[in-house]
Structure 1
Amino acid sequence: MNGTPIVVSDVMTRRVVALRTGAAFKDIVRTMQEWRVSALPVLDGAGRVLGVVSEADLLPKEEYSERDVGRYGQVRHFAEARKADGVTAGELMTAPAVTVPPDATIVRAARVMARSGVKRLPVVGSDGTLQGIVSRPDLLKVFLRDDSEIAEDVRCEVVARLFGSQAEEIRIEVRDGVVTLTGRVRETALIPIAARLARAVAGVVDVNCAVSGPPRHPDLDPDLPDPQRPAPA
């Protein structure tokens, strides 16, 4: 990755089906089934994202057709009851849409998804026009990176930058996305920073950091314990 963080535009789906505000209810359902998606962005005439229609927005039509909600129920479930009367995308959509820009990091996109409780986000440009869609599976693609690529990024972007000439003293192994760091360095204060930065490298699942400081020399440092010599009884 050459030190560049993975952003939404690197993983998003660019071929996107979208709706106009006048799209009819049955056409919305048909489009969802045809494209095998559970939500569709709704655009205005200029291609700007106005909202999103999801399966959850369509279900009230079925729910409220089977029973009389009553006055109390209509007040309590006003939003759902109103959607049950909707027949077009403009009436059914949830607005404003939760979106992300194409240059947002995948970490930011994941946070937005988690906090908003959605499975996919429209990706919009600075003018609000639709650029693509990023979904949960898109964000997980980063974990398919080869271990060798991850190791190279950790070597170049973390170890070499932090430890400079000492970088060769650190061994990096990556297996199934789990990074293991071993070796000895003089700057022990940098060890936890290295572990934290390695964990942030795209595709890293976990980090095992066994890097330690330089070996003790009891003859030169008599007040320090020698880890190679057993403690006196």
Structure 2
Amino acid sequence: MTTQPFTVADVMTKKVVAVLPGAEFKEIVATMERWKVTAVPVVEGEGRVVGVVSEADLLLKEEFHDHRLGFVEQLRHLEATAKAGSRRAGDLMTSPAVTVAPEASLPRAARLMAAHRVKRLPVVGADGTIQGIVSRSDLLKVFLRPDDDLAAEVRDDVVEHLFPLSRHQVDVHVDGGVVTLSGEVHDRTRIALAERLARAVEGVVDVRCELTAQAA
């Protein structure tokens, strides 16, 4: 197998919009509006990520603006009410931030987003400094790979690897990210594996396996 899997570094946005811990509430809102983002990392020093401020964090001020809570309810919503009364990024942010390494796989980033219910992740190096931002839409970029590239990867990394004796009898066709494998192969036991490996190629939408085994 020759092709290296895509990593977060391959798809992340390198231009990062961030704020300092001392950024004021209105400054944060204006930054989000200007750059059309729903969350911003909070950085300090040489760019070390210390938290993230999201629209959800900011909306707590609106949620509790005109609503007086009783003592028990205040305890229940302690963190939320504290944020609602804050006006600087350092107090508003969610910390520690959920981050991902640039060398992480795309499935790893997707699982982090799903587990923490976030739409984007700061990408940080080993020293904790920010290197980029990866969003849900960035993770979908692999599905924009040209069909010819997908066909070449499936042929080189799947067909050539699994069916060295009958590789010239296997046809690989890709249309809209959907891979069709057809032809005759010597080893019936490897047909199911070929389908699984083709499906694992990043950017492949689906696989139709029409391979058959040659008669003994």
Given the two structures, how large is their TM-score scaled by the length of structure 1? Answer: 0.90
- Any idea what the Cα deviations from partners look like across 1:148-207, whole Å, max 9, x if unmatched? 111011000111111113111111111111111111112111111111110111110011
Letter in 2 for 1:143: F
For residues 84-95 of structure 1, the aligned pairs below 5 Å read 84-95=84-95
- Any idea what the Cα deviations from partners look like across 1:195-230, whole Å, max 9, x if unmatched? 1110111110011111121136xxxxxxxxxxxxxx
How many angstroms does 1:105 deviate by? 1.3
Which structure is richer in relative contact order (CA contacts within 8 A, separation 6 or more)?
2
Q: Does 1:120 find its partner at 2:142?
A: no
Superposition CA RMSD, Å: 1.1
Q: How many percent of aligned residue pairs carry the same amino acid? A: 54
Name 1:227's counterpart in structure 2: none
Q: How many residues align?
A: 215
- 1:69 is paired with a residue whose SS is coil
Q: Does 1:210 find its partner at 2:210?
A: yes
Given the two structures, how large is their TM-score scaled by the length of structure 2? Answer: 0.96
Q: Distance in 1 between matches of 2:164 and 2:44?
A: 53
Letter in 2 for 1:7: T
Name 1:28's counterpart in structure 2: 28
8 Å Cα contact 2:48/2:129 also seen in 1:
yes
Letter in 2 for 1:169: Q
Name 2:76's counterpart in structure 1: 76
Letter in 2 for 1:74: Q
Q: Distance in 2 between matches of 1:168 and 1:12?
A: 38
For residues 156-195 of structure 1, the aligned pairs below 5 Å read 156-195=156-195
Deviates more, 1:69-78 or 1:56-65: 69-78
How many angstroms does 1:71 deviate by? 1.4
8 Å Cα contact 2:165/2:186 also seen in 1:
no
Following superposition, which runs of at least 4 residues in structure 1 exceed 3 angstroms of deviation? Answer: none
Q: Distance in 2 between matches of 1:36 and 1:59?
A: 16
Instruction: Give 5+ residue unaligned stretches, structure 2.
Output: none
Letter in 1 for 2:46: A
